[in-house]
Structure 1
Amino acid sequence: MTYLTKTSRLMASAALGALMLTAVPATAGEKPAAASTTAPAAKPELGTFGFDLSGMDKSVQPGDDFYAYANGSWARNTPIPADKSNFGMFTVLADLSQSRTQEILEAAKADPNSMIGRAYSAFLDAATVEAKGLSPIEPWLNQIRSVDKAGLAKLLAEADRNGVRHFFGGYVGQDDKNPDVYIYTMFQGGIGMPDRDFYLKDNERNTKLQAAYLKHLENVLTLAGEANAAARAKAIYDFEKQIATVHWDKNDSSDATKVYNKMTIAELAAAAPGFDWATFLRGIGVNEESLLVSQPSAFTGEAKLIADAPIGVIRDMLIVRSLDGFSDVLPDAIAREAFAFYGTALSGTPQMQERWKRAVDFTTNNMGEAVGQDYVAKYFPPETKAAMDQLVKNVLAAMGDRIDGLSWMQPETKVKAKKKLANFTTKIGYPDRWKDYSKLEIKADDLFGNALRSNQFAHDDNISRLGGPIRRWEWGMTPMTVNAYANFGMNEIVFPAAILQPPFFDPHADPAINYGGIGAVIGHEISHHFDDQGAKYDETGKLADWWTPADVAAFEAAGKALIAQYDAYEVLPGEKLDGTFTLGENIGDLAGLTVAYDAYKKSLGGKEAPVIDGLTGDQRFFLGWAQVWRRNYREQNLSQRITTDPHSPSIQRTWVSRNLDPWYKAFQVKPGQTLYLAPEERVRIW
């Protein structure tokens, strides 16, 4: 169970899939170091210069489909493994990270004093898990079975601490308008499918998913030993559909301004009568009077629905949530049932991961930084850190130059934007201060107990932030995570060790590939702090209006053009992208690629890049961008992403290059080709 913090919430809309470090504020005005203009002396991991030429399809014109030109052969010849819903460069590195972590945990398993070794061993011991059956979770299920309306708020508080999802969730994070203070934030919940649209949007795919989910509810109740499971499952489904009708949609829920609603507990109780908010909040450890309520009208609606619903339906829903939430640490019959819906029906994945892979994931999800210390000591060399430091400085400097040259931003706003850029903190590789797990009890023969105690530990750690100083050293991802993120409240950009590998980054690759790969990722995360949501936060991380009305109007006009561009992409028959929902990530891709290109050109020190394997420096730069987005999807997974993922699919992410003038020159893209945009139609924001 991963608890949602301010950082992890931002990752949903602001993320891309040795030696102790100190996070050092990057300085935007530093002059970039010149990169070598010759092919690197040491051999890169991919090809002759860091790009896999065999993955290209040169029968396709770059101007017709740049993704297929750069990646077409790879896409045709790369099957999706049976235990995955999609497969690409992120997955390749995730698999590598998983295998490396397995080696660490196999060694730790032999040490009875190793917490991570015990956690890993307990998961691998399937025989003990099967022998215990549902007995470890039965005391909790019996609490649910006996709860009445008067005791519901207290039980839900316990569910929260146990890691069982219910009607609403919450986390302790920075107060957006007072980022030096922690506050408890609540958000809507109560549905078992990923988004309200799966209940409310009528189409053939959703109809099939609804039927599969209804059957899943019945199967879980049956496995729990409940009678009359089919009728009770239908009652749960109907209840959840009612909840879906009061939920905010994903666009409103992603708007930092709309979700900032500060209330006292008394004000929440008045706005959402029918539920004992004080008992619930005190029960989870919130003793402050004020909190943030992300979707107030949803809370009003859910409170009424809870008050009106039969207690039996609520009990049944909580039984299902409990077994689904703990499915991986219970007997295989439970795990297989949860996977049948969430893995196969929803995402199209035919086969569960092998147990060792799930054991690795369980250990890293719950004790990630304990594993991470061994991981970075073994797999994150100092030369990678040093080279990444320089790349970040170069891209930050390029962003500063871009701000200086903007025609639409007012001079007084530019001063504030440069100040924000200068205040950035960059975190590379892993934390300079590791999380302390000494209070977490892990046993080699108690898998369910380990999961339960890990959830409780995470909850208590999160709640303990209230009233304390901001933990600026904390990370929202482990070093083994293949991703990156921007945290608006901390004014930081973060790059875990596992993404700093080919094809994203190779110290021995041609600079063009690195700038097109990790350089654009760096630019992407930097630009998140200036996108449709990030731009609402000032240099201190405070949600504040610091742009002039003219700046906002110009920015929104450019955003509307980008929205229209992505709205037009039909990813599957009858299923188009939502350009509004994906706007922040699309701005990140556009700005990231633009700024990385500037940084690459400046790194050449005024010289022309050499031609390597018949490709110019500019061609290699854009191919480096395209290579990191190689990914094949199962149809169900791609459809789900259109509904729930603020990132565009890989093909459309690659196509953002059609807005950059140098791409046209590099590949001789002409009018009449599919991706061609007239100069006045190319979206230019930064």
Structure 2
Amino acid sequence: MKRLLIGAAVGALLLPAAALAQDVDHDHACLDETCSVVSLFSGEETAAGWQGTQAPKYGTWGFDMAGRDTSVKPGDDFFRYANGAAVDKLVIPSDRTSYGSFALLRELSDNRMKELVLGLAARTDLTPGSDEAKVADAYRSYIDEARIEQLDAQPLQPYLAAIRAADSHEKMAVYMGQTVGRFGGSFFGSGITIDAKQPTRYVVSTGQSGIGLPNRDYYLDARYADKKEKYQAYVADMLGMIGWANPTETAAQIVALETKIAEAHWSPVENRNRDRTYNEYTIARLAEDAPGFAWQSYFDAAKLGGVPRLIVRQDTAMPKIAAIYAETPVELLQAWEAFHTADDMAPLLSKRFSDAQWGFRARDLSGQPEQRTREKRAISFAEGSLGEATGRLYVAQYFPAESKAKMEELVANLRTALSHRIDNLTWMGDETKAAAQEKLRKFTVKIGYPDKWRDYSGLEIRADDLVGNAERRGLFEWNYDLARLDEPVDKSEWGMTPQTVNAYYNSANNEIVFPAAILQPPFFDPNGDPAVNYGGIGGVIGHEIGHGFDDQGSKSDGDGVLRNWWTAEDKANFEALTARLGAQYATYEPIAGYKINPGLTMGENIGDASGVAVGLEAYHLSLNGQPAPVLDGTTGDQRFFYGWAQVWQSKYRDEALKQQVATDPHSAAQFRVIGPLRNVDAWYDAFDVQPGTKYYLTPEERVRIW
């Protein structure tokens, strides 16, 4: 069940933008540079006189000094220096591909969800049709393994019959249109998102699709040849299980077909360019420019046939993919669709299907040794089926009001710090500075949870119908999107649930969003030292604000409109600085043979650099001219940098790290620490980093953007 999430740029702290939906404004003090910065803590809990009311979770003041590896010089590898002993002790659970700070918080969130969901499932007094009853029934439908095994492939049969009946190219185009919001796939993905150039309205977007591996590199790069071979074996296995003719031969044909499609696809770097991916079309013009695919029939089937305009993302790829579609025999198109439908539905089917799908997609692609237990998967299914309903329960039990208030103060501090920094930029002129300040003033902030919760009254969930529940949920979401297509943009909506351990920036709304689940140690500890909090959650806030001024987010103005608000000279200066930053990241190699692609990670790298620089200045401003206390022999600046490093404390399986390098716009964790810090003068002073160490840069080589 896939929903295409495309359109406005979204920068997330951890997850790639493709994983986020585009889917309560708060008034803040200190919106301009003349306002003084408020302290993160009140009363006795100030930076100058810190006293927590309880012991911090990590160490005596928010960072466990025993987790360092002091055999490593800070300038040779600050990630190891700050985190080495702690990382060495990390044991990746057998049902995970990585483990560390994010995973520990996700685990906490999962355990809380387990308590909530199992508590509802055990009750017999729930009102039928209530959100709580639907959550319980969603869980029951997934945990009922006996019924799932008894049904085996039966839920697939209506789909397979419809695919076999689609015996012409036009009928297959209709069928592909019908998969929007349902199981199956298409050579083209379509969805509804905010219009990047008219962000008060929604628009239909369409773009390249049609491949089953993570991206085009897995078909074309020799480093992933073993994954492509295993994929072909998996396709054959799945076709055999659904009774498709000649599964081995057909699987080879499907992979060869997808290789052609991959050759037509834009690269991940090209897909980041927001100027290139905004191309206004009509359906008639798309049919003219990309003949060979029944576009009108496809959009009619997706209930989009009457839209007056749409945005085509990869305009030069569409004619090539349409031509491939036209030259592919209908029998192969049917086999392709049958496989992708089975692959999509497999986690909800009997053990032979779910094990096969997990075996390739989690074990072979990401190196995960064991599948999550059925109970864990059932809880995730129930949570995901009614995300904001479970989020409402989560917030009521686990998110104190004071956390939101303190976050609002912190955000105000970070905004003031960035405003000061913009005023003092030497590479930017006054005209562009004024536009940047206006954008900063217009930022909106969402903290913890939505002011308005989703209404799930129209969603039917049955305790005895797992696949039906998933299908109805997909159609519920698609119909929700369709209903708002002609409505003004609802800026109160959230693209993440409160129980998500992440944060994001949405350029179309010019907003930064911080779900409740991330506002906990090690990111934010109300009993910890403010320096560590500024390095942790302060760096996160600065990172998300920084997305509004990264290489893509900076293409939208304060109202979210995709337009150029830069002078030519300032734009050239900015691009020169980002090129220098990219040259640094191009040398980083998280795993042998797999270097970071700075064209893919540039936005997140700028976000990290901004987060550290702005977070540090906000910490200094919060001291109100007083010296930072020395705690356990560490200075305030040292504790700030420890706080940033602690956030990225993690360990990855090799296959997962390789996949991250190929597909993820975020750099590997160790370089999210090393990369930003080596460009900050205060880091050199704090840890006496000297020439001759591995990551030393001369002052002239350091890149200072925001």
Matched residue of 1:433: which SS? Answer: coil
Offset of 1:139 from its aligned partner? Answer: 0.5
Residue 171 of structure 2: aligned partner: 151
Kindly report which structure 2 residues correspond to 1:47-62, keeping only aligned pairs within 5 A, or say none.
47-62=59-74
Alpha-carbon distance between aligned partners in 2 of 1:432 and 1:269, rounded to the nearest angstrom:
42
Matched residue of 1:262: which SS? Answer: strand
Of 7, 14, 17, the residue aligned with 1:16 is 14
Residue 63 of structure 1: aligned partner: 75
- The verdict on how the C-alpha distance between 1:5 and 1:40 changes in structure 2, with shifts beyond 3 A counting, is farther
- Are residue 280 (structure 1) and residue 295 (structure 2) matched? no
Counterpart AA for 2:31: A
- Are residue 522 (structure 1) and residue 524 (structure 2) matched? no
Counterpart AA for 2:462: K
- Are residue 28 (structure 1) and residue 31 (structure 2) matched? yes
Of 160, 183, 198, the residue aligned with 1:178 is 198
- In 2, are the aligned partners of 1:25 and 1:423 still within 8 Å (CA)? no
- In 2, are the aligned partners of 1:47 and 1:53 still within 8 Å (CA)? yes
Residue 669 of structure 1: aligned partner: 689
Matched residue of 1:653: which SS? Answer: helix
Alpha-carbon distance between aligned partners in 2 of 1:617 and 1:682, rounded to the nearest angstrom:
22
- In 1, are the aligned partners of 2:68 and 2:80 still within 8 Å (CA)? yes
Offset of 1:438 from its aligned partner? Answer: 0.7
Offset of 1:2 from its aligned partner? Answer: 5.6
Matched residue of 2:92: which SS? Answer: coil
Offset of 1:25 from its aligned partner? Answer: 4.2
Offset of 1:34 from its aligned partner? Answer: 2.8
Matched residue of 2:213: which SS? Answer: coil
Counterpart AA for 2:437: K
Residue 92 of structure 1: aligned partner: 104
- In 2, are the aligned partners of 1:428 and 1:496 still within 8 Å (CA)? yes
Q: Which runs of 5+ in 2 are unaligned?
A: 16-23, 41-45
Counterpart AA for 1:669: V
- Are residue 384 (structure 1) and residue 389 (structure 2) matched? no
Of 340, 356, 359, the residue aligned with 1:337 is 356
Of 188, 192, 217, the residue aligned with 1:168 is 188
- In 1, are the aligned partners of 2:138 and 2:385 still within 8 Å (CA)? no
Counterpart AA for 2:59: G
Moved more, 649-658 or 25-34: 25-34
- In 1, are the aligned partners of 2:343 and 2:357 still within 8 Å (CA)? yes
Counterpart AA for 2:218: F
Moved more, 143-152 or 105-114: 105-114
| Moved beyond 6 Å, runs of 4+ | none
Counterpart AA for 1:117: A
Residue 3 of structure 1: aligned partner: 3
Counterpart AA for 1:75: V
- In 2, are the aligned partners of 1:25 and 1:424 still within 8 Å (CA)? no
Residue 313 of structure 1: aligned partner: 332
Of 456, 468, 474, the residue aligned with 2:487 is 468
Residue 640 of structure 1: aligned partner: 659
Kindly report which structure 2 residues correspond to 1:233-382, keeping only aligned pairs within 5 A, or say none.
233-286=251-304, 287-382=306-401
Moved more, 658-667 or 54-63: 54-63
Matched residue of 1:115: which SS? Answer: helix
Moved more, 600-609 or 49-58: 49-58
Offset of 1:161 from its aligned partner? Answer: 2.8
- In 1, are the aligned partners of 2:394 and 2:499 still within 8 Å (CA)? yes
Alpha-carbon distance between aligned partners in 2 of 1:312 and 1:462, rounded to the nearest angstrom:
33
Residue 140 of structure 1: aligned partner: 159
Residue 685 of structure 1: aligned partner: 705
- In 1, are the aligned partners of 2:589 and 2:596 still within 8 Å (CA)? yes
Counterpart AA for 1:106: L
Offset of 1:23 from its aligned partner? Answer: 2.5
Alpha-carbon distance between aligned partners in 2 of 1:75 and 1:67, rounded to the nearest angstrom:
10
Alpha-carbon distance between aligned partners in 2 of 1:649 and 1:187, rounded to the nearest angstrom:
28
Alpha-carbon distance between aligned partners in 2 of 1:510 and 1:41, rounded to the nearest angstrom:
8
Alpha-carbon distance between aligned partners in 1 of 2:490 and 2:297, rounded to the nearest angstrom:
28
- Are residue 598 (structure 1) and residue 617 (structure 2) matched? yes
Alpha-carbon distance between aligned partners in 2 of 1:273 and 1:418, rounded to the nearest angstrom:
46
- Are residue 106 (structure 1) and residue 118 (structure 2) matched? yes
Of 572, 581, 585, the residue aligned with 1:566 is 585
- In 2, are the aligned partners of 1:376 and 1:430 still within 8 Å (CA)? yes
Alpha-carbon distance between aligned partners in 2 of 1:535 and 1:163, rounded to the nearest angstrom:
36
Moved more, 515-524 or 452-461: 452-461
Counterpart AA for 2:49: T
Alpha-carbon distance between aligned partners in 2 of 1:252 and 1:552, rounded to the nearest angstrom:
19
Deviation sequence 1:88-144 (CA, Å, 0-9, x none): 111111111111011111121124531111111111111111111111221111111
Residue 20 of structure 2: aligned partner: none
Moved more, 37-46 or 167-176: 37-46
Moved more, 84-93 or 103-112: 103-112
Deviation sequence 1:409-438 (CA, Å, 0-9, x none): 111111111111111110000100111111
- In 2, are the aligned partners of 1:16 and 1:521 still within 8 Å (CA)? no
Matched residue of 1:575: which SS? Answer: coil
Offset of 1:327 from its aligned partner? Answer: 1.6
- In 1, are the aligned partners of 2:13 and 2:540 still within 8 Å (CA)? no
Identity of aligned pairs, percent? 43
Alpha-carbon distance between aligned partners in 1 of 2:56 and 2:504, rounded to the nearest angstrom:
26
CA RMSD in angstroms, aligned pairs only: 1.3
Residue 225 of structure 2: aligned partner: 207
Counterpart AA for 1:176: A
- In 2, are the aligned partners of 1:40 and 1:49 still within 8 Å (CA)? no
- Are residue 429 (structure 1) and residue 448 (structure 2) matched? yes
Counterpart AA for 1:599: A
Alpha-carbon distance between aligned partners in 1 of 2:659 and 2:3, rounded to the nearest angstrom:
22
Residue 38 of structure 1: aligned partner: 49
Tell me the TM-score normalised to structure 2 length. 0.94
Counterpart AA for 2:50: A
Alpha-carbon distance between aligned partners in 2 of 1:150 and 1:283, rounded to the nearest angstrom:
11
Aligned residues: 678
- In 2, are the aligned partners of 1:427 and 1:492 still within 8 Å (CA)? yes
Residue 620 of structure 1: aligned partner: 639
Alpha-carbon distance between aligned partners in 1 of 2:284 and 2:180, rounded to the nearest angstrom:
21
Offset of 1:163 from its aligned partner? Answer: 4.0
Alpha-carbon distance between aligned partners in 2 of 1:157 and 1:366, rounded to the nearest angstrom:
23
Alpha-carbon distance between aligned partners in 1 of 2:652 and 2:396, rounded to the nearest angstrom:
34
- In 2, are the aligned partners of 1:39 and 1:612 still within 8 Å (CA)? no
Alpha-carbon distance between aligned partners in 2 of 1:641 and 1:324, rounded to the nearest angstrom:
22
Residue 443 of structure 1: aligned partner: 462
Matched residue of 1:434: which SS? Answer: coil
Matched residue of 2:431: which SS? Answer: helix
Alpha-carbon distance between aligned partners in 2 of 1:395 and 1:363, rounded to the nearest angstrom:
37
Counterpart AA for 1:671: P
Matched residue of 1:427: which SS? Answer: strand
Offset of 1:578 from its aligned partner? Answer: 0.7
Matched residue of 1:226: which SS? Answer: coil
